[in-house]
Amino acid sequence: MLVSHSGRRGADEHNWHNLNDEVHTSADPYESTLQHLQKLDAPDEIIALMRTEKHSYLLAGELPDIIDNILTYCDWTFGQGPNTLKQRFDGLRASNRLPVEILNQLEIMGAGFEEALIDVLGQEVIDRMKDHQWKDEALIRKGYCASAGLKVSEVFPRT
pLDDT above 60 for 4: yes
Per residue in 79-93, pLDDT tens?
Answer: 767 889 999 999 989
| Strongest mean pLDDT among 19-28, 30-39, 54-63, 118-127 | 118-127
Is 116 within 8 Å of 126 (Cβ atoms)?
Answer: no
pLDDT given at position 59: 72
Domain boundaries, the chain: 1-53, 61-159
**pLDDT, mean of residues 42-66:** 77
Q: How far is the C-alpha of 15 from the C-alpha of 23, rounded, in Å?
A: 13
Report the sign of the C-alpha dihedral through residues 7, 13, 18, 23, in that order. negative
pTM over 0.85: no
Q: Summarize the confidence of residues 97-111 as an average pLDDT.
A: 89
CA distance between the termini of the chain: 21
Instruction: Evaluate if residue 135 carries a pLDDT over 90.
Output: no
Cβ-contact 50, 37 below 8 angstroms: yes
